[in-house]
Every structure is written in C-alpha cells, then in structure tokens.
Amino acid sequence: MTLPLRWKVTFGALLAVACSLAIAGIVTVRSLERQHLVQLSDNLGATAKLAEYSLHPLFLSSDQLPSASQLQPMVRDIGTRASARITVVAADGTVLADSAILDEDLPGIENHRTRPEIRQALSTGHGRDIRTSQTTGERTMYRALVMTRSEQTPPVIIRVGFPMSLLERDIEQLTHNILIALGIAFLTALSLTIWLARSVTQPLSDITQAAQRLASGTQTLPIKTSAQDEVGLLAATLNQLADQLHAKIGELSEDRAQLLAVLTSMVEGVMVLDRRGYILQINPALERIFGISRAEARGRPFAELFRHRQLNELVEAILRSRKNQEVEIVLPLTNRCLHIDASVAGGERDNEACIVLVCHDMTELRHLETIRKDFVANVSHELRTPLTSIKGYVEALLDGAMDNPDMTAHFLNIILKQSDRLNLIIEDLLELSRIESGRISFRSDPIDIHAVIDRALSTIKPLAEKKGHRLIASINTRLPAAEGDEDRLVQVLTNLLDNAVKYTPAGGTITVGAGEAPIPRTAEPTGGALELTVSDTGIGIPEADRPRVFERFYRVDKARSRELGGTGLGLAIVKHIVEGHGGQVWVEAHEPKGSRFVVRLPISNGPQLPA
C-alpha cells in the first residue's frame, strides 16, 4: 500500500525543513568559525604590535641584542597580560625569549628560522600560521611581525601565539547552542507540519472516502467540510455532482422500470438487435412464443438462435437496407402464425438498438378466420341444399306437375319437409348464436338429475320406440350435488339421446348414466365432478373424428346425417352449454361397439342428494 497523503506531506515538509536547518546550521557554524579566526588573528596582530611597542625601547638602547634575563621577565609579563604566548626571535632564527618557556630551557630551544610565520615575516614584514606547536604540543595560531632597529643591526621578530583549543572550545560551545536552537526549530516545524498536513489532508481524505462511497453506490450523505478554499470548492462540486448523479440515476431507473413494465406486460413479442444482428433484449412474450429464455438469447447472433429461413432473410434484409419491413411466418414445430414488424431503431454501433422486431401472434386470429370462413361456407351450403330442393319441386309444380293431384301432394310434402329442415337449421343457428354471444345466461340452481334424465328420456322415448331401441337409465344411488340450468341440461341430454337414436341401427340399446366422476379427466375441475353419460350400440365414431364432432356442421358422414334429419349443430350446442356450466364433454368408444358421450359437471359443495 502506498503512503497516505498526510504522511507524504508531513515527511516531505519535514525533509525540506531538516535539510534547510542542516544547511543553515552548517553555514552558520562555518561563518562563525571563520569570523572567530579572523577576529583572533586580528587580536593577535594587535597584541604583536603592542608587544613590539613595549619591547622596542630595550632594543634601541644598544646595538647589542638584550640578554635573555632582560627579555624573559618582560615577555612573560606581556604574555600574561595579553593571555598569549610571546616569542622574540633573532633574524638568524635564535629564540631570544619566550613567555611559555622557562628561563633555563631557553638555550635548548630549536632554531625558529624555518617556521612558516617567521619566514613570511622576514620576507614581507608580517607572517601567520596555524599548526601544532613543537614546543607546547598544542594547535596554535601564530602572528609574527618584524621589529626594525637600525640599518646596521639585523631586525628582530616578535611572534604572538594563541592556542586554538580555546577558540575550538568556543566554537564547540557555539555549535552546541546552534544545534539546540535547530533542534527546537525542528521540533516546532515538526508539530506545525503535522498540524498543517492534517488540516490540509483531512478534508481531502474525507472527500476521497465520499468519492469511494459514491463510486460504490452507497453515498447518501453530502460531504461535510468547513474548508473555504479549493478543498471546500472541490467538496461542494462533488456534492453537486453526487446530487446530479443521484437524480440522473433515479430518472434512468424510473425510465427503465417503466420500459420493462411495458415490455413485460406486452402481449406482442419484442426483440431488439444491434447492427451486427446480435440479440440485445427480448421480452417475456417473445420467450413464450419461441420457447427460449432471455438468458440464453441475450448477446447471441440472431441467425445462430433462430434457424428460420424467412426470419433470417428478414433480419438480413433490414440490416442491409435499413428500411422497415414486415412478414408473416409459420413456426414449424408449434404451427404458430406470426406477423412480424421489423423497424429500424437507428443504433449504428455494436450493442446499440438497431432493429426492433415486434411479433404479433396471429394463430388464434387466423384460426378464428378459418372457422368463420368455414362457417359461412357451411351455412350457405346447409341452407342451399333444402332451398335448391324446394325451388326444384316448386318449379316442377309450376311446370305442370300441379295437374297431377298425387304428384302435387307428394311434392308439397317434400317441400314441407325441406322447409322444416331449413327452419330447424335456422333455429339451431340462432340458438348457437344466442349461447355464443352470451345473451343466454345459465341459471345456477341446484339440479335434480333424476328430473333432468326423466325429462330428456320422455322426449326421446317415442323416437326410440319407433326404432325399437331399448332405453336404460343407470343412476347411482348417491349423486353429488350440482348446480346449473336444468332446462339447458335437459337440452344437452336430449341432443345426445337424439343422436344415439339416430346413429344406432334399429333394435339397439341406449343407456343414460349418472354418477360421481371416478377420477378427474384433467387437472380441472379439481373439486370432484358429476358425470352424465349417454352410450349406444350404434355405428360409433372413428377415433380421428371424435375431437371434431363438436365443431359446427362437422359430420362423420354428411349424407347419412342429412338423411337422418341432422343439422350438424346439435353437438356444438351441447359443447357450449356444458362449457357454460364450467364442465367438459367428450366422446369415447363404447365397447364392443357404439359411442359413449361423457358430460362432466363441477359439483357444488352442498349436501349430496339422496337417490
């Protein structure tokens, strides 16, 4: 992890302060040292001059050099007063007197002619040097000057020495004081730097944390800072940015939710493709229509997922031409009929909506259209047959058959029969239309099944007897209570019994049954059911025709039905009434021969009716 900004600022500032203080300290110590040296040198020069002044009369008194016994007390006295070492050296380098040497040691002192300050003084009049003294063993600063006596006598050199140890001690003390001052300055700078770094970086780290929360989507509170400077401005700008972002996100989420709600609730399937033909979005209706899931579809090329030639051609064409198109297709497996509107959405980049396909499921509509067309054709046909017959016989009568009374009576009988048939068809059609349009509402009274069966049987009995059929009623002792419209249920049973009589050769057996349904045929109705059955020993219905006999005008054998006076609408009426009661009706084979029609009605929760 990198160092936090606060410590970077602190360490950076401290380093700068430490360097500055160190440089300042070194420069100060050096310049003070130099100044001390210059001052000491000047002092030594002044002391040398004073010594020369004091000793000069002694050397002027005679041409001879004064003796050591004369010089030594004076030199020692001057040295003590000046706190310096005074040395008097003859021009040949012989030490005549030295305040730091005992009188008896003086003769043994080494010749000083080679000393740098002496050599300088002899050549220029002044000399100086700093070195360790061979006599005292101390580092010493020397200043030397030449004292001239007369032109005939050689000069004498006055040398003043001062031990550097004193100066060095002073400088050491000074350095120590400066170091303490620098240390205090550094400590002050340290605390100031920490305080400053904290006050500058704290708002910044607050802003950083707030920005991180903002980026992770958890930012709710505004950034608080009392800073009035650029940091304060940054915080205010970030707060403003967060507010705008929040508002924008809210707006977008709302738009998205609305769009999703629209897409989800749409009956039409919607699919959005980008310019490459990749699927970006599909809605639940489209998932249902094509039997695909959104997860597997999104991000995949259209052609890879939908292997339908017409659809692929449509998408390719619109991608090429960028023009709206529409097409009607039939899905191979489900036989669903789809009308597809493909419109250009305009996106010109990958993952941008380029085409929107809207699929209208036309299956039901087309089916209804087919039924309507078939119905119109069937009705026309059914009506035309008796009408043609009536017209034919009327024309025959007009053409002269009227002259023959027998023929007239025969023809008029046929015309009457065909008119009855026409009437029957029209009545059935009107009944069916009334039931379908909902103009007839079924009552919901408790049904007395025995009464329903009795009423239906009594209507059919004369017809059955005419054909020599045996009518049997097989009713369970305990029947579940059901509710419904008794008259309509009588109509259901009568239609079924009428068919049984019609389509059973003479001498057959027709059985009406009633009881509780053994097991539900489908998941619905779930709460048990009352089952009414009509079985015959007639011609039966081939398995392929069984689901269709409830369609209007559907007949297994048209000629036979017409001959028997059927309209082709009886079972359609039965189906509508039963379904109007929330029930089901179907036909199955009756062993060993014949048909068995089953009507299943949902039962009410009331008490069971005793037999």
Q: Give me the residues that bind ligand ADP (CB under 6 A), please.
A: 499-500, 503, 536, 538-541, 549, 554-557, 561, 566-572, 595
Q: Is there a contact between 328 and 362 (Cβ–Cβ < 8 Å)?
A: yes
Which of 189/512 has CB closer to ligand ADP?
512
Task: Tell how far CA 112 is from the center of its chain.
Answer: 98
Task: Tell how far CA 387 is from the center of its chain.
Answer: 72
Which of 269/566 has CB closer to ligand ADP?
566
Work out how close the CB of 474 gets to ligand ADP at its nearest, in angstroms, rounded to a whole number. Answer: 17
3-class secondary-structure state, position 91: coil
Work out how close the CB of 463 gets to ligand ADP at its nearest, in angstroms, rounded to a whole number. Answer: 13
Residue 279: beta bridge partners?
273
Work out how close the CB of 538 gets to ligand ADP at its nearest, in angstroms, rounded to a whole number. Answer: 5
Task: Please tell me the distance from the alpha carbon of residue 532 to that of residue 254, in angstroms, as a whole number.
Answer: 56
3-class secondary-structure state, position 62: coil
Which of 85/502 has CB closer to ligand ADP?
502
Which of 42/543 has CB closer to ligand ADP?
543
Which of 390/572 has CB closer to ligand ADP?
572
Work out how close the CB of 403 gets to ligand ADP at its nearest, in angstroms, rounded to a whole number. Answer: 37
Work out how close the CB of 370 gets to ligand ADP at its nearest, in angstroms, rounded to a whole number. Answer: 19
3-class secondary-structure state, position 228: coil
Which of 182/432 has CB closer to ligand ADP?
432
Work out how close the CB of 311 gets to ligand ADP at its nearest, in angstroms, rounded to a whole number. Answer: 40
CA within 13 Å, CB half, 26: 5
Residue nearest to ligand ADP (CB): 566
Burial class of residue 160 in the structure, from the number of CB atoms within 10 Å of its CB (0-12 exposed, 13-18 middle, 19+ buried) = buried
Which of 342/534 has CB closer to ligand ADP?
534
Kindly tell me the sign of the dihedral angle through the C-alpha atoms of 525, 527, 532, 533: positive
Which of 85/600 has CB closer to ligand ADP?
600
Work out how close the CB of 388 gets to ligand ADP at its nearest, in angstroms, rounded to a whole number. Answer: 19
Work out how close the CB of 470 gets to ligand ADP at its nearest, in angstroms, rounded to a whole number. Answer: 15
Burial class of residue 215 in the structure, from the number of CB atoms within 10 Å of its CB (0-12 exposed, 13-18 middle, 19+ buried) = exposed
Single-letter code of the amino acid located at 331? L
Q: What tokens appear for 326 in the block? A: 């529409």
Task: Please tell me the distance from the alpha carbon of residue 26 to that of residue 83, in angstroms, as a whole number.
Answer: 30
Work out how close the CB of 386 gets to ligand ADP at its nearest, in angstroms, rounded to a whole number. Answer: 14
Residue 602: beta bridge partners?
529
Q: Compute the C-alpha angle 190/194/200, nearest 5°.
A: 140
Which of 460/541 has CB closer to ligand ADP?
541
**Count of H-run helices and E-run strands, the chain:** 15, 19
